Amino acid sequence: MPLRRFLRLPTLFITLNMCAATGLFAGVSQYVYAQDSNTDVQSFSLSAGSLDQVLRQFGLNAGIALYVDSSLVNHQHSNGLVGDYSAQQGLQILLAGSGLTAIQQPDGSYRIEPVPTLTLSEDESSVDLGKIDIVGDTMLLTKDTIGYNDVYDKNISSTYVGKQELERFKGSSPADMLSGMLNVYSADARNSGGIDPNIRGIQGPGRVPLTIDGTEQAITIWRGYNGANNRSYIDPNLIGNIKAIKGPNLERNVHSGIGGAIVASTLSVDDILKPGEAFGGELKLEGSNNAVDANVPRLSSGQSYTDIPGFDAQGDIYDPTLYVEPHSGGQDYFADYAYRLAVGTRQEKFDLMGAYAYRKKGNHFAGKHQDGFYSRGSDNLQDNMIPDLANIYKPGDELPNTSSEMESWLAKAKLKFSDVEILSFGYRDTSTTYGEIFPSRISWERAVDEGVPQWPLSEVKAKAYNLEYELNPETNRWVDFYASVWRTDTVSDTYTAGGYPNEPYERNASGNTTLRNTALRNAKEDRQGVTLSNTFALMENLDLTVGGRYQHEKLSSDDQYGDPELDSSFRMYPKAGRRQEKEMNFNFAWKPTHFLSVDAGMRYSSFWTFDDFRKSQLDAGKTSLNSYAPTIGRTIHVEYDKVITQADVDPEIQNWEDNRAFWESMGADVDAFIQQIQDTVGTTETASYESVWKVGKDGKYYRNNHPCLTADVDVTACLNGATVIGNVQTIKKVKHLKGDGWAPVLSVAMDLNDDSRIYARHSQAYRFPSLFENTISFSASLPNPNYELKPEHIYNYEVGYVHNLAGIFDADYADIKLSYFYNRTENVIERDPNSHFSNLEKQTLEGIEFQGRYDNGGFFTNLSLAYNFENEVCDESTAVVLDYRSTSDCVEDGFVGGYLVSMAMPEYTANWTLGGRFFNRKLELGSRVTYYYKHEDKFESNYRDPSAISYYANTPLSWDTILLFDAYASYQLNDDISVELTGTNLSNEYYIDPMSRSAIPAPGRTFKLSLTAKF
């Protein structure tokens, strides 16, 4: 069996229905105990006290896990236990007279249940064992209970959101599913239709993989001057829980990147059926206000723009057909509703489940209050439009391009060949239509007066398939096997190509003025993968887990490069390529003593990528994308003050002497001119020369050969000149780009006492270049084949302290966790000031996190805090190119023009929930507070030269301090029906989410009413 890293006895809430269906009386317990192989006798010396505390101490001493409903042991007394007993004997004595019994589970743990009253036969001398249901270990704890406990029980930082919390605060867009998860974010939440995960400031393709039932889908989308987003499309209505694991790790069957992993699971039979039910279903209905149907325009393709009054084709196109007057007063509009129907069956040999989900949401309305930060105005909207955001998107008004419509199907099947062998299958189909606008196509100078256009809607169709096999025979310690095979197919038609929905072939009115759509981009992304693992119980205190993972990705497009219907100077190339990644890993879990646990392992990973689009152009004989001129350096104009010497003026004086006769015949006073020249000796003048600043062998610039830093003169001015390039070279063959590496993981945990422990982790990982970075298309210049990108290499350090305070506070749960993290990533792949991808020297992220929870059954609260005090990016080449004198090699958040500056997380973050349960848990009232400290633009401190800063160089969109209040009331009408009212952003605050790229405000105050009915 896998080793227990930390033994703790939370007094758990298990539904009364489950208890009634599975309880055993003392006589039957004897039968259960007779099957127990754990009969080792131990010495106990437990003092009298409350029953829950004595049971907790007994479990710790005996090395067993105990699970019990807190209401069963509260206010009961125990006389303790002294003597030599086996585990089952000790439990019998401790529970004698309490009305409780202990039921051993297949995994060796015990569940404490009430002794029920059973109907005996007429002679009252026998029991019909067929009427007794002995549950397996799957019924011990719900998966959500396990998920929330793992946050404190595992020696790694993580956060977890279960089904109830997900559905309560699912918000207006998929990104809202991550709200409330400490130091976990999603970029561009309001204008993307997907999730772009960010964990502790690490974000981007492959850095934080998001998996759903083990399947993976992600595609990088161009955001114009605002960079790029890595989107994973997901339907929140199908998700049962989400776990965020922070930092690289060797968690079994988890695809982890350098920043960690987001692991999502879809709904299961256990989410739908009541305990003990064989057949059943669940219907969920929801409705919200603060949304209005989007007034989606019809395209004008085929028309002449001269026939559209007011159409301006010069400069940034003004298309009056895309502008509509926004609504106001979101509390009176209810264009947001959803429903889901799920049915399932749970049989002895199989489980089946199917679900259909639909949601339609219109454009949401912005908040009305606290908009001062966003309405103060700016003299230069090119630098940053945030100071005028509330003058463009008025507080309380409808926000165009924020609507969405989702329709999804889910099917799952599980074949149970035996208790230890299972085969599972899953299928998921989601169609999404959502609003978005390309940030570069918003003319911010016009927007203050004219508003923002409503664009046509983007569409995404995603399918996923997964097949899993599990084999875990209890009699074979060498086998605990898992295997999965999966595939995802995604087709997207999104308004991210760079053009306009209505763009003429020619801007000149005398030319071809016919309109066509140059904004729509087609992409097809197919992935397939395999995951394998097995755990060997080598010794009683030593496990070995080995695993492997394979993934193949293919990206293609139906768009044709050079198609006149699509051709536009604003449109970028279609992207096509393939990528393969393999991984092998092993991890030893060793418990040398009862208070010490050690995990040690390594991961080997490798990859290759190939640019299919570039090869297609080469095969077609087109050289425009397959030729390049290597950069030799750049011309530097050097100016300095020079003292004039006699030697400097002698040639000029001699020239006057040689031509004296001529000048005197012209009436010139030669002696006066010669004297004037002679008088300049000893004075200074501005002199200059030009020199070539050459790149190094790696194609990067360095200070040690900068002409102005190595000059023999006192430089007074240093001006960048033209780039010096070599002879044009043609690529004759597109190469596979490859790489591999080994990375270790080590974790040590020590129990300080029965309720507290400390742990320390060191983990490393590689992140290899993605298809986005290793194929040509948008957001970056053509790559130079002479300088291949290196893989990113992260060094992660974490120290944590965990304390279980349930005994002190007499609560079901009372835990705290304090952790410190330090991440240093070397060779960070980033866009440089010349819009080329290159490797920066390093990025350092550092911070502390606090997580705590308390639940006594009636009152509950959760508090999580983060202080991120370091986000430093270092690269000599980038710094010296931007400003050779005043820009430091290390800057805060990132360099101008790169992507990292838009990934910077809030310095301070807090999440606090609290609530209570009333009327025998039928009524639950709760609230949530979310806090993000304001974004302080670091550009002013990073760069003394303001010319280096421009909105068009991906300047991050700042946000003001955000303080959000949410609340809910949930009532269980009967065993089958519950209703819930949820209010979000109750203060109706006007704000944008951290790490936005599209400058679209979040929703204002919103109320949602939901009904859940089981049948």
Residue 9 in this model has a pLDDT that exceeds 70: no
pLDDT tens digits, one per residue of 909-920: 999 999 999 998
Q: Where are the domains of the chain?
A: 16-141, 144-263, 264-508+523-559+595-630+731-1014, 631-730
- CB contact set of 1006 (below 8 Å; sequence gap of 6+): 172, 288, 289, 290, 291, 330, 336, 364, 983, 984, 985
503 CB burial (10 A radius; 0-12, 13-18, 19+): buried
Check residues 86 and 581 and name the one with the higher pLDDT: 581
Check residues 567 and 756 and name the one with the higher pLDDT: 756
- CB contact set of 80 (below 8 Å; sequence gap of 6+): 46, 47, 48, 49, 54
How far, CA to CA in Å, does 259 sit from each of 53, 821, 890? 39, 12, 21
CA distance 233 to 1004: 24
pLDDT tens digits, one per residue of 642-662: 899 999 889 999 999 899 899
> Computed from CA positions of residues 649, 655, 661, 662, in that sequence, does the dihedral angle turn out positive or negative?
negative
pLDDT, averaged across the chain: 88
Q: Among 123, 117, 126, 89, which residue's Cα sits nearest to residue 104?
A: 89
CA distance 970 to 916: 11
CA distance 437 to 415: 46
pLDDT tens digits, one per residue of 245-297: 999 999 999 999 999 999 999 999 999 998 788 999 999 999 999 999 999 99
pLDDT band at 127 (very low <50, low <70, confident <90, very high): very low
Check residues 595 and 831 and name the one with the higher pLDDT: 595
Please state, as a whole number, how many other Cβ atoms lie within 10 Å of the Cβ of residue 223.
25
Residue 205 in this model has a pLDDT that exceeds 50: yes
Instruction: Among 3.30.420.60, 3.40.140.10, 2.170.130.10, 3.30.2290.10, name the CATH number for the domain at 144-263.
Output: 2.170.130.10
Write down the pLDDT at residue 949: 59
- Give the percent of the chain with pLDDT over 70: 91
pLDDT tens digits, one per residue of 858-876: 999 999 999 999 999 999 9
**DSSP symbol at 1003:** B
> Computed from CA positions of residues 89, 91, 94, 95, in that sequence, does the dihedral angle turn out positive or negative?
negative
Write down the pLDDT at residue 947: 59
- State the number of CA atoms in the 13 A half-sphere of 672 facing the CB: 5
CA distance 473 to 479: 7
pLDDT tens digits, one per residue of 810-835: 899 999 999 999 999 999 999 887 77
Instruction: Among 2.60.40.1180, 2.40.170.20, 2.160.10.10, 2.60.40.10, name the CATH number for the domain at 264-508+523-559+595-630+731-1014.
Output: 2.40.170.20
Contact 949, 383 (CB under 8 A): yes
Calculate the dihedral angle through the C-alpha atoms of 507, 511, 515, 519, rounding to the nearest 10 degrees. Answer: -40
Write out the DSSP string of 94-145.
HHTTTTEEEEE-TTS-EEEEE-------TTSS---GGG-----GGGTS-HHH
CA distance 192 to 172: 12
Q: Which single residue is written with the structure tokens 């991120």? A: 868
The pairing of beta strand 279-288 with beta strand 239-246: unpaired
pLDDT tens digits, one per residue of 361-415: 999 999 999 999 999 887 655 556 788 899 999 999 999 999 999 999 999 999 9
pLDDT tens digits, one per residue of 712-767: 898 999 888 888 888 888 888 888 999 999 999 999 999 999 999 999 999 999 99
Q: Among 1014, 437, 498, 407, which residue's Cα sits nearest to residue 777?
A: 498
Output the pTM of the full model. Answer: 0.85
- Range name among 13-22, 194-203, 515-524 with the lowest pLDDT average: 13-22
pLDDT band at 309 (very low <50, low <70, confident <90, very high): very high
Q: Helix H segments across 860-932?
A: 876-882
- Range name among 163-167, 551-555, 605-609, 943-947 with the lowest pLDDT average: 943-947
Residue 15 in this model has a pLDDT that exceeds 60: no
Cα-trace Rg, the chain = 34
Q: Helix H segments across 338-487?
A: 389-392, 444-450
Write down the pLDDT at residue 128: 40
CA distance 681 to 737: 62
Q: Which two tokens stand for residue 624?
A: 């425009």
Backbone angles phi, psi at 35, to 5 degrees: -85, -5
Contacts 24+ apart (CB under 8 A), 380-384: 381/444, 381/445, 381/951, 382/444, 382/950, 382/951, 382/952, 383/949, 383/950, 383/951, 383/955, 384/937, 384/951, 384/955, 384/957, 384/958
Please state, as a whole number, how many other Cβ atoms lie within 10 Å of the Cβ of residue 633.
18
CA distance 872 to 822: 12
Contact 757, 747 (CB under 8 A): no
pLDDT band at 882 (very low <50, low <70, confident <90, very high): confident
Contact 553, 580 (CB under 8 A): yes
Treating both helix axes as pointing N-terminal to C-terminal, what angle do 26-34 and 87-95 enclose, rounded to 10 degrees?
Answer: 170
- CB contact set of 7 (below 8 Å; sequence gap of 6+): 59, 60, 63, 65
CA distance 171 to 631: 49
Write out the DSSP string of 553-580.
EEEE-S--TT-TTT--TTPPPP--EEEE
Write down the pLDDT at residue 141: 67
Segment holding 542, helix H or strand E: strand 542-556
Backbone angles phi, psi at 417, to 5 degrees: -65, -35
- Read off the pLDDT of each residue in 53-79 and give the average, rounded to a whole number: 79
Q: Among 44, 84, 37, which residue's Cα sits nearest to residue 60?
A: 44
Task: Provide the strand spans (E) within 49-99.
Answer: 49-50, 66-68, 77-78, 81-85
- Read off the pLDDT of each residue in 931-950 and give the average, rounded to a whole number: 74
Write down the pLDDT at residue 37: 37
CA distance 78 to 73: 10
Q: State the CATH architecture for 16-141.
A: 3-Layer(bab) Sandwich (3.55)
The pairing of beta strand 291-292 with beta strand 260-266: unpaired
Q: Which two tokens stand for residue 686?
A: 């501005």
Contact 129, 40 (CB under 8 A): no
CA distance 83 to 868: 52
Backbone angles phi, psi at 709, to 5 degrees: -95, -20
